[in-house]
């Protein structure tokens, strides 16, 4: 059974950090460039991301940065496509996955929920032994660190991505609030809300 935990900072320059030991160290980290080539369609970025996920082999869980809003439409589309690809892959292979809010990651790293890139890199260098200077790698490392804290908090009831009791404990420990996405593959959603009555065409 795989013990590899993967953390992802979604974007065209996609930060990836992972560990096989059940703790943050030793870790591996890299940036995956998903920019399509000159003669490639936009969907190539998602195909490259999928191929990268497949290259990891077995995974115990996947965590990613959960972004509530973007400054630009293009960035939102890229983020949504990457997350959709990630979720589809995890569902297909029965891998638990979870989004961690941006402010929670920053607070975990620096004590402040609005820390800038430079402070996130400096904190990774000081606290995690990160030797690089890339903000995408630093963010991925802090997502991984946050995820590992959640795993330790949920040891008696399962990981935050692998059980309701463990999820509640881990979320309380991390002060992260209820995330938008916490999924155990195979969960069956409840019935949809009944359709609303349409507005009449003639409102006069």
**Single pTM value for the model:** 0.75
Q: Could you identify the residue written with the tokens 């991925």?
A: 140
pLDDT of residue 151: 52
pLDDT of residue 149: 83
Cα–Cα distance between 137 and 90 in angstroms, integer?
22
End-to-end CA distance of the chain: 66
Q: Could you read off the pLDDT of 128-164 as tens digits, one per residue? A: 999 999 999 999 999 999 998 875 544 433 344 444 3
pLDDT of residue 112: 94
Cα–Cα distance between 109 and 154 in angstroms, integer?
20
Pairing of strands 5-9, 61-66: parallel
pLDDT of residue 113: 92
CB 105 within 8 A of CB 63: no
pLDDT of residue 70: 77
pLDDT of residue 69: 80
Is 138 buried (19+), middle (13-18) or exposed (0-12) by CB count in 10 A?
buried
Domains (range + CATH), the chain: 5-183 (3.30.420.10)
pLDDT of residue 173: 45
pLDDT of residue 100: 95
Low-confidence ranges of the chain (pLDDT < 70): 1, 151-204
């Amino acid at each position: 059974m795989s013990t590899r935990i993967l953390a992802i900072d979604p974007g065209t320059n996609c930060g990836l950090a992972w560990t096989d030991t059940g703790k943050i160290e030793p870790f591996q980290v890299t940036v995956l460039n998903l920019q399509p080539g000159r003669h490639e369609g936009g969907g190539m970025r998602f195909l490259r991301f999928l191929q990268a996920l497949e290259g990891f082999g077995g995974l115990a869980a996947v965590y990613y940065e959960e972004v509530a809003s973007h400054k630009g439409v293009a960035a939102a589309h890229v983020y949504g496509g990457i997350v959709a690809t990630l979720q589809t892959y995890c569902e297909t292979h029965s891998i638990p996955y979870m989004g961690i809010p941006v402010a929670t990651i920053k607070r975990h790293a620096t004590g402040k929920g609005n820390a800038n890139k430079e402070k996130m890199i400096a904190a990774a260098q000081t606290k995690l032994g990160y030797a690089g200077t890339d903000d995408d790698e630093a963010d991925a490392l802090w997502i991984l660190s946050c995820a590992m804290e959640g795993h330790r908090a949920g040891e008696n009831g399962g990981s935050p991505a692998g059980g309701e009791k463990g999820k509640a404990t881990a979320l309380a420990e991390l002060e992260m609030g209820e995330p938008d996405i916490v999924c155990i593959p195979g969960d069956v959603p409840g019935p949809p809300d009944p359709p609303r009555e349409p507005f009449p065409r003639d409102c006069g």
